[in-house]
Structure 1
Amino acid sequence: MWSRTIKNVCTVCSIRTVNFSNLANKKVCIVGSGPAGFYTAQHLIKNGPALEIDMFEKLPVPFGLVRYGVAPDHPDVKNVINTFTSIAKSGRLQFIGNVTIGKDVTLNDLRSAYDVVVLAYGAAQDRWLGIPGENLDNVVSARKFVGWYNGLPEESNLKFNLDVETAVIIGQGNVALDIARILLTPIDLLKKTDIAQHALEALSRSKIKNVKIVGRRGPLQVAFTIKELREMIKLPENCYRIHIDNREYIEACLPKTSRPRKRITELMLQSVNLKQSEKKDPSKEWELIFNRNPIEIIKNPNENKVEGLMVGINRLTGNDWENPKIEDTGLRETIPCGMILKSIGYKSLPLSDELPFDHAKGIIRQTEGRVEGMQGVFCSGWVASGPVGVIASTMQSGHDVGKRIIDDLKNGIVGTGTKKPGRDAILSQLTARGVEPVTFVEWEALDNEERERGKFQKKPREKIVDVREMIDIAKKGQS
């Protein structure tokens, strides 16, 4: 789901010499080991050398969406794992995997054990369209589909019907293009990635030949970036159609747009004029379809499966091209298809009833990362902002929250009172409850096993998808 690389510069060892007397022996825990968690930790390590920092993760493996959200054919984006590994091995951070906050340990347990608790656990609930037919077979959320092909344990056993010719993706962000690309990429190319084996086998039998990527708004409002569009245009064995019917208006708006928006729009306009015959032996096709609002998912009259998507045709009005008003023209059309993938965003879930949570937006209520009404509790990344931005913006968010934590500790706003017991108290609770926490060193044993398995199939790695097997390999590697 992450769509851009950043430079892998680890700054954990660049520590300034200042007075950290208020930080001595203060204990911080971070819930979540994705980019938001690691970048918050990076800032704390750099600017608070006296802090003791622990990181809790639900799975036995670290890195969150970098491992389970980035498309398998984007290995360059995953290089940021090198930075995160350096942070984890700096000697300043303790990774504690296979611990579910809210089940194995409560938020109140953490607050009792640590001076500061940082919630950075991302977004794990799907948004709904709220239209008839959404519960039909083969109507799939993008989050689940991405988790499936990336080997996320909880999604690894999902079954999809790929024995159809046409799939519709609702949404026009980078995730939508990732999914379209995975569905249409020649299988010989996918074999060279770290895609999960069960997904590779299913995709090798897929009969999907056409993918329609549908959005409510127009070309000027697409959420994907130019990198992803270029990849789609260059996709081997594919032709494409970009449906643009208001070209003059779009060209008139271009001088008002930002440079990135202008470049991506110009690429779409240029690509409309390319002849399909210029593509060599295309066996598959993708389409960008604009100004279409999902109205109803059409059910097959004989079975509980998808037969098509009814959409309303929109008209964009107003002078604000960035956020135009969407008007329903009253016109309807049905797009025949056998599979629908919803790429319309995600929401976070509260891990405690005590959290001040905005259920409509799916975020924790906070001000500059400080959770409302909960002194010493902070939040970072998507659980604070919603699922927006790329890795670079999450890095900035993590660093900003880290700075505020340091400021509040220095100024005595948090971290006052009795000395906190930290991880010792939590590990004792986990032992009493029969939970087997996984350390970063143990993760490295699992990492080595996955890489070794990948060598046999000429892949970067073969991800293990069974949590019990993960734990057993991690523990065995250190026995």
Structure 2
Amino acid sequence: MRHFAVVGSGPAGFYTAEALEKAYGGAARVDILDRYAVPYGLIRFGVAPDHQSLKAVSKRYDKVADCAGVDFIGNVTVGDDVSVAELLELYDAAILAIGAPHDRKLGIPGEDLPGVIGSAEFVGWYNGHPDFADLDPPLDGTHAAVIGNGNVALDVARILSKTQAEFHGSDIVGHALDALDRSAIKTITILGRRGPHQIAMTPKELGELGHLEAALPLVDLADFPPREADDALEPGQRKSVTILRDFNDIRANRPKSMVFDFFAKPLSIEGAKDNGGHAERLIVERTELDEKGGARGTGETYEVPASLIVSCIGYTTPPIAGVPYDERSGKFLNEAGRIADRLYAVGWARRGPTGTIGTNRPDGYEVAEAIAIAMPAGNGSDRAGSEGLKRLLTERGVKATNFADWRRIEAAEEAAARAGSPREKMVRVDEWLKTLGH
């Protein structure tokens, strides 16, 4: 019998466990470890609460967890409760699928001022991540700025713009719903260093903005190249740019504005001297495209008022002691997923924060295939696997949880749901454990 540890229960972790279970056909045990008592990672804490159809992929992961050869071991932090070296003593291989949960820094003066928040923090706040339940973002000003031109920036801007009624059917947590309902924000500026042709926004997410009850998306057609230049774009990108152009044709009177500010490079963030240095404005440089399609400054600067600034410029994987790490790229050093002997990485921890949820499936299957080749099913091992891990955790006083425990937490969250919501997430680790009687 082979024993494998998959560290991380998000999409990459579950797809890898699924692939290993299929590759070994009952001749392996796969343990999915997570620092939290609840699974799904990015699905629970990252996907927007008003995108329930995307969250439905967790049903597939449920089937993986129900396989006889797969176990979920939650409330265990690799690097603190157990080291990677210890996992490699207990398992034939360890696969790191911890994602990229940390915000990439802007690298500009003023980014540490109160009111400047990373998207991992802000998204975690409205999605019920226990690390950010007490974030309390400043929503009392009239202007917000969102830095980035990807789907995360759209999520943040959309969440800031919606009315309470528009969250019907979502699982946004109660503390965020109440705070957003009291929000004074009227203008949200979305800043991107380059132009409309270089956005990383998909048509579905962009299209939603045209149907918001209270917010009007605004573009300046002077930022766009001639319409015939759109023909050179890939179909999906061309559709996104068309949607952006069509925002200019919307004729509606709505109390909020969502302003797309292209060719805008943030230089610094300035605070209000009479308000404890709280962020008050962005200093921005107008850019233009260089010969290679990058952004270069023109020297022209201007101010964008904002008392809330959310940076959506990417994420990094946190290092783990003893695991080779690429500081520049913010991911584990690896070749085709292999970090070292019997140690692998998948998903964002392998390739950086790129691709969609589904991109993690072929990624996980590729690594699982490489493991199966290196460790044929017919050659078993005498490693202790989950029995040894659980024994070690018990000795250290770690209260590990299983998938049945998650089902109890899930049932409690569903029972506490407000009208029209699928669940009311618990946002504290001790709430999870208290539900389990720990």
TM value normalised by structure 1: 0.88
1:244–1:290 CA contact under 8 A, matched in 2: no
Secondary structure class of the residue paired with 1:216: coil
**Runs (5+) with no aligned partner, structure 2:** none
Q: Establish whether residue 461 from structure 1 lines up as the match of residue 429 from structure 2.
A: no
Residue from 144, 149, 155 that aligns with 2:121: 144
Alignment root-mean-square deviation, CA: 1.6
Q: Establish whether residue 231 from structure 1 lines up as the match of residue 208 from structure 2.
A: yes
Q: Establish whether residue 317 from structure 1 lines up as the match of residue 290 from structure 2.
A: yes
Q: Establish whether residue 338 from structure 1 lines up as the match of residue 307 from structure 2.
A: yes
Opposite residue 438 of structure 1, the aligned amino acid is: T
Offset at residue 411 of structure 1 (A): 9.3
- Aligned-residue identity in percent: 35
Taking the TM superposition and a 5 Å limit, the aligned residue runs for 1:100-179 are 100-179=77-156
1:442–1:475 CA contact under 8 A, matched in 2: no
Check 1:214–1:246 CA distance in 2 against 1; reply closer, same or farther (3 A cut): closer
Taking the TM superposition and a 5 Å limit, the aligned residue runs for 1:310-389 are 310-318=283-291, 324-352=293-321, 354-371=322-339, 374-389=340-355
Secondary structure class of the residue paired with 1:459: coil
Match of 2:14? 38
Match of 2:411? 448
Opposite residue 309 of structure 2, the aligned amino acid is: I
Check 1:411–1:86 CA distance in 2 against 1; reply closer, same or farther (3 A cut): closer
Distance 1:70 1:425 in 2: 34
Opposite residue 40 of structure 1, the aligned amino acid is: T
User: Which deviations, in whole Å up to 9, do the C-alpha atoms of 1:298-320 show, x marking residues without a partner?
Assistant: 211222111110100001122x5
Opposite residue 268 of structure 1, the aligned amino acid is: L
2:223–2:262 CA contact under 8 A, matched in 1: no
Match of 1:16? none
Distance 1:125 1:375 in 2: 27
Secondary structure class of the residue paired with 2:341: coil
**Runs (5+) with no aligned partner, structure 1:** 1-24
Distance 2:192 2:182 in 1: 28
Distance 1:250 1:316 in 2: 15
Q: Establish whether residue 270 from structure 1 lines up as the match of residue 239 from structure 2.
A: no
Offset at residue 475 of structure 1 (A): 4.3
Opposite residue 197 of structure 1, the aligned amino acid is: G
Distance 1:195 1:443 in 2: 19
Offset at residue 220 of structure 1 (A): 0.5
Match of 1:435? 398
User: Which deviations, in whole Å up to 9, do the C-alpha atoms of 1:386-429 show, x marking residues without a partner?
Assistant: 111111111121111111111111299xx88x621111111111
Offset at residue 474 of structure 1 (A): 2.7
Taking the TM superposition and a 5 Å limit, the aligned residue runs for 1:408-419 are 408-410=374-376, 419=382
Match of 1:216? 193
2:117–2:309 CA contact under 8 A, matched in 1: yes
Distance 1:325 1:72 in 2: 33
Distance 1:267 1:344 in 2: 22
Check 1:226–1:407 CA distance in 2 against 1; reply closer, same or farther (3 A cut): same
Match of 1:200? 177
Opposite residue 159 of structure 2, the aligned amino acid is: I
Distance 2:345 2:158 in 1: 33
Aligned residues: 436
- Structure 1 outlier segments of 4+, above 4 Å: none
Match of 1:17? none
Match of 1:403? 369
Distance 2:221 2:190 in 1: 13
Secondary structure class of the residue paired with 1:60: coil
Q: Establish whether residue 301 from structure 1 lines up as the match of residue 273 from structure 2.
A: yes
Secondary structure class of the residue paired with 2:289: strand
Opposite residue 259 of structure 2, the aligned amino acid is: E
1:348–1:382 CA contact under 8 A, matched in 2: yes
1:442–1:474 CA contact under 8 A, matched in 2: yes
Opposite residue 195 of structure 2, the aligned amino acid is: G
TM value normalised by structure 2: 0.96
Match of 1:425? 388
Match of 1:12? none
1:32–1:55 CA contact under 8 A, matched in 2: yes
Opposite residue 75 of structure 1, the aligned amino acid is: Q
Secondary structure class of the residue paired with 1:302: helix
